[in-house]
Chain A
């Protein structure tokens, strides 16, 4: 079982960039069996998968169509962590953001969640 620790600001201004980091313990971001995901939850949109990064001989990234033009997920092997950047945020991006470890399609290990509010 992996432990995921999220960090990043809880308040972001409209049009700016939301940045969160997820530090991993108990597994490796370069694992050949896990994928490292970002998911958000809001009352209006429910649980929404945003994207993932994973290593299978090389790095792969997949993003949800709804945010594809604005999102970047990166991995940092030296720090064993991965990050989320979401550009040009609006109040609709206000949500609780989770980093999640996925293996065999199951979301087994979750970060503690970060409430990000987009407001001036």
Chain B
């Protein structure tokens, strides 16, 4: 199985901050990398697919980059509704997820 490692596991940030989350794959997944946001008691929601494509309806402050084994999710200006947990997921070989990054209010 392809292992996905996210960092950090948690972070504290203020409204308006730029936030970046990284995801590393144990082997190349090309651009088969997606990012999700999850709020308490809810299912994850797709934000970014194919490493850098914004899902329809997702604010443009979210962006993704990377290919191969190293990927980044960025939030350009953190908003109150962005405090949540974020997961990466590879679809190169079945499905595996990163461990998650919890974004908390500073």
List the interface of chain A (C-beta within 8 A of B): 37, 39, 46-49, 52, 62, 64-65, 98, 102, 104-108, 110-113
Contacts and interface: CB of A to CB of B under 8 A. Distances in A.
Contacts of B43: 98, 110-113
Taking chain A's interface residues, is the majority helix, strand, or loop, or is none over half, making it mixed? strand
A47 B97 contact: yes
Interface string B86-99: 01010100111101
Contacts of A104: 49-50
Interface of B: 1, 32, 34, 36, 43-44, 46, 49-50, 55, 87, 89, 91, 94-97, 99-100
Contact of B91 (A64, A105, A112, A113): A105
Contacts of A49: 94-97
A105 B97 contact: no
A110 B49 CA distance: 16
B1 A106 contact: no
A107 B100 contact: no
B1 A47 contact: no
A46 B46 contact: no
